[in-house]
Chain A
Amino acid sequence: ETGVTQTPRHLVMGMTNKKSLKCEQHLGHNAMYWYKQSAKKPLELMFVYNFKEQTENNSVPSRFSPECPNSSHLFLHLHTLQPEDSALYLCASSQVGDGGAEAFFGQGTRLTVV
């Protein structure tokens, strides 16, 4: 275990559903991230939160809505997704201010949109 926990591990949802992915880190880090990993594509950074404030939004469609209520928890709210949104969604955390600090990743949520 890396200290970053993601739930659920697997999710199947229809295009009209609303669901949420949850991430929790127990490492005392002050930055959290959402990444999307699709087959045959590089790891895509979606959102960055630094001290609960969103500092990066890499042109992600509005059907993905992040929420960071505190520095330990991160959510990704999903609604009206498309089949091409099927992917492995990874959460990570790190300590901002320590440039040499590695990011720690959760196990990921395997999302399938039907």
Chain B
Amino acid sequence: AQSVAQPEDQVNVAEGNPLTVKCTYSVSGNPYLFWYVQYPNRGLQFLLKYITGDNLVKGSYGFEAEFNKSQTSFHLKKPSALVSDSALYFCAVRDYGSGAGSYQLTFGKGTKLSVIP
């Protein structure tokens, strides 16, 4: 079975400061990891993903995430937060190669990011 944990319900950060939104995962095979952002009353928008290769992946709007296999983590980061980054962020995992046959994404419960002017 695959699962995702986002330990923080809310993260507050001052505009211009670096931000981190945490995510840990559990899979029996190899993880494919994703970050999505959701603005109020909108669907989820894809930000970035880790499939293989470099542990640091870069995505939309200046976001990046670091895959850490030993810590089973995939934290989302941005060097300088903007007020417009305020939204709900979801981490997701797909367990690939375990033979479980599951191809859908499992999402974390989401972290609300508030960037304070």
Contacts and interface: CB of A to CB of B under 8 A. Distances in A.
B43 A102 contact: no
Interface in B29-68: 32, 34, 36, 41-46, 49, 51-52
Interface residues of B, number: 23
Contact of A90 (B32, B34, B43, B104): B43
Contacts of B107: 42-43
Given A33-B104, A42-B110, A48-B104, A107 B43 contact: yes
B104 A100 contact: no
A107 B104 CA distance: 19
B109 A42 contact: yes
A45 B104 contact: yes
Contacts of B36: 105
A66 interface: no
4 tightest Cβ-Cβ pairs between the two chains A and B: A105-B43, A100-B51, A99-B96, A42-B109
Interface of B: 32, 34, 36, 41-46, 49, 51-52, 90, 94, 96-97, 103-105, 107-110
